[in-house]
Amino acid sequence: MCTVGGGPDLGEVETLAAKDYECQECNNKFQGMGRRPTCPSCKSRNVKAV
What would the x/- binding string for another protein be over residues 1 to 40, using CB under 8 A? xxxxxxxxxxxxxxxx-x-----------xxxxxxxxx-x
Residues in the chain, how many?
50
Nearest distance in Å: CB 49, another protein: 12
Q: Which residues pair with 22 in a beta bridge?
A: 29, 48
From CA 50, how far away is CA 20, in angstroms rounded? 6
From CA 38, how far away is CA 28, in angstroms rounded? 11
Nearest distance in Å: CB 47, another protein: 10
The contact set with another protein (CB under 8 A) reads: 1-16, 18, 30-38, 40
